[in-house]
Amino acid sequence: MGKPRDPKPAKLISSLISSSDDLIHFALEIMGERLGEIDFKSPPLPFHWTTYYDREMGKGLMRRLVSFRELVPREELVRIKLWTNRLEELFSQNGKRRLNVDPGYITQHHLILATTKEAPHRPYLGEGIYADLTLIYRYGKFEPLRWTYPDYASEEMREMLEGIRRTYLGQLRRRG
């Protein structure tokens, strides 16, 4: 019989989407105060993968992908997603978001994103939050799955996430 044990902590990441890079940077300052030092920040990436956010947030959206230095217990993802939802509300105007914040984490094996949307491949974590298994790490790289969003399936995004994963593995080695 297997014995339950806590998994290794995970590398917290977040994607921020907005039409204003200044707003993203302001949100990142707040996130840094709450979640700790940012150890990776992507350049601004054009967000052209879907029109899903256009009605609410407008056109000309960009994304920044970040990771945080401090490793986190995996079960913290629920509380972090609930907090980032409140952060989105803080920056909303007239009931519309101006900022989308999608936290998740990287482990040796996969990228998990937190979501409020139920789907067959999204196990429930609690408090209205689901885990989206977005990418798996196999054969030396992150591989998309049938349901992976096209932006996360892109080569550019997977290369950034693989770099964050290398940093994470180095952090685990140093911890012993």
* Residue in this structure with the two tokens 């790490």, named with its chain if needed: 137
Q: Are 127 and 82 within 8 A, CB to CB?
A: yes
Residues 65-84: tens digit of each pLDDT: 999 999 999 999 999 999 99
Distance of CA 38 to the CA centre of its chain: 13
Residues 116-161: tens digit of each pLDDT: 999 999 999 999 999 999 999 999 999 999 999 999 999 999 999 9
Both tokens of residue 107? 């482990």
Residues 7-58: tens digit of each pLDDT: 999 999 999 999 999 999 999 999 999 999 999 999 999 998 877 788 888 8
How buried is residue 172: exposed, middle or buried, by Cβ count under 10 Å (0-12/13-18/19+)? middle
How far is Cα 88 from Cα 102, in angstroms, rounded to an integer?
Answer: 10
Write down the domain spans for the chain.
Answer: 10-175
How far is Cα 117 from Cα 160, in angstroms, rounded to an integer?
Answer: 25
Output the pLDDT for position 55: 86
> pTM for the complete prediction?
0.95
CATH topology (fold) of 10-175: Alpha-Beta Plaits (3.30.70)
Residues 45-56: tens digit of each pLDDT: 999 887 778 888
